[in-house]
Amino acid sequence: MNKIMTLLTFFIFILGFSQTHRFIYEVNYKKDSTESEITKEYYHLDINPKETLFYDRTFFESDSIMKANSNSGFPVPNMNNIVLHKKGTKFFEDYEFIGWDVIKRTSEPAQIWTLTNEKKKLDNLEIQKAVSHWGGRKWTAWFAKEIPFSEGPQKFHGLPGLIVILEDERHNYSFKLVNSKNYSETKSIDFFKNIFPRSLFLDESKYKKFKLNFYQDPLAYAKNGTIEVTSENKLALDDGTIVTPENIKEVTLIQQKRIKKYYNPIELDNAIHYP
């Protein structure tokens, strides 16, 4: 990925003429909090006139492939969470892919930030430190007043400038701004237009019950007729596992272990307790 735009004055000049401000973050995180292995991915924060979207870059890449091929099919990305914040509201919408369902939740995340006097440089940006306890973790954020958006990665917001660096105290999650682009017209992801309307809204209690049910039978969709698994029509999971009628019970147990092992939610205080 390229570095942050080096000409900050140019960025400020075109700020008022842009419809989509796209900020690209490098995200490093631990899928398993008990191990040291780090996964690196890239996410987009799109600030549009009516909403802000935070999503895995693979959604953008897949959407570009689809449009280049005249909308003939959509290669679904591996990552499965999208966060949407509508302008002028306190509500954040969280869309999650669970099996063959798209689950929608809403929340009002409000981080209470303590601003410090500590400042430093990130390329040509002057950034300032702030700290907050939120979601069961202690967070350190560095924000840039020169980029006048009170937004940041995931559900983080509320500072007097864009959050450009964010990390929790135990180094489970780290976000760093690495690039930015501005567009004269609003950019959209066609896939989102299709999946948002068909999402299933769940409150927190129903969401946790849904996740626990999915854990109990993560391949239910392969048994109830949603997907037909036969000796000729095998099912390939995102980890490369091939499901057949003969190994479906064995794969179910393996998937249950994976769900528990790679469960390291950002919001620890709202974590699901798997059996």
pLDDT tens, position by position, 115-155: 999 999 988 889 999 999 999 999 999 999 999 999 999 99
- Please give the sequence-ordered ranges of beta strands (E in DSSP) within 124-202, or none if there are none: 125-134, 137-144, 162-168, 173-183, 200-201
Higher pLDDT, 178 or 67: 178
Amino acid in position 213: N
Position 62 scores a pLDDT of 61
Phi, psi of 215 (to 5 degrees): -60, -40
Helix (H) or strand (E) holding 102: strand 101-107
**For the chain, which domains are there?**
8-190 (2.50.20), 202-270 (no CATH)
Q: How many CB atoms lie within 10 A of CB 95?
A: 18
82: closest CA among 162, 192, 208? 192
The pLDDT-based confidence of 245 (bands split at 50, 70, 90) is: confident
**Residues 57-109: pLDDT tens digits?**
988 676 454 444 444 443 444 446 899 999 999 999 999 999 889 999 999 99
pLDDT, one tens digit per residue, over 100-116 is 899 999 999 999 999 99
